[in-house]
Amino acid sequence: MPTYEYRCESCGHEFERVLRISACDEPQSCPECAAAPAKKLVSLGAGFILSGDDWTGKAIRINRQMVEKNRRLDAKQAVLKREAPGVTLVPNVGGERVDSWAEAQRLAGSKGKDTSTYDHVVRKERASKS
């Protein structure tokens, strides 16, 4: 129910009443001097706030939070890219480094290991050399 503001014509006391909309025009008596009728004032009211998950205020707040979070993460990633060395795969078999992937495949085969995992890197290596 809405809150209405009144001013007593006799003593000037201002007061509020919570009334049904249909009762807002009924005469109200002053709580200080009991004089009636008090004059109804025009007020701006407190306004209202739409809250909950489905209203735009929350969506805007969350969007701002996500933009700020992404900005911080982008800054961190940029620092990591500058400071961290690039990762490269080096041909090896069980930690024993060799000069090429083809050599690594041959060494793995001689040690009785599965060499099918080397096939795609050997093809890439051959393609880059030609």
The predicted pLDDT at position 73 comes to: 92
pLDDT at residue number 90: 80
What pLDDT is recorded for position 108? 92
Task: Let me know: does 47 contact 67? Beta carbons within 8 Å.
Answer: no
User: Going edge to edge, which strands form the sheet with 39-40?
Assistant: 14-18, 3-7, 39-40
Instruction: Yes or no: say if 101 and 125 are a contact pair by the CB < 8 Å rule.
Output: yes
- What is the spatial distance between Cα 37 and Cα 13, in angstroms, rounded to a whole number? 12
Per-residue pLDDT of the chain (130 residues; tens, 9 = 90+): 788 889 998 898 989 888 888 887 888 889 899 888 888 887 666 666 666 666 677 788 888 999 999 999 999 888 888 877 676 778 888 888 899 999 999 999 999 999 998 999 999 999 988 7
* CA distances, 59 to each of 27, 52, 63, 68 (Å): 44, 10, 6, 14
Do 38 and 19 meet the contact criterion of CB atoms below 8 Å apart? no
* Dihedral in degrees, nearest 10, Cα atoms 9, 10, 15, 16: -50
Burial of 101 (0-12, 13-18, 19+ CB in 10 A): buried
What is the chain's alpha carbon radius of gyration, rounded to the nearest angstrom?
40
Tokens of 81: 């890219």
pTM: 0.35
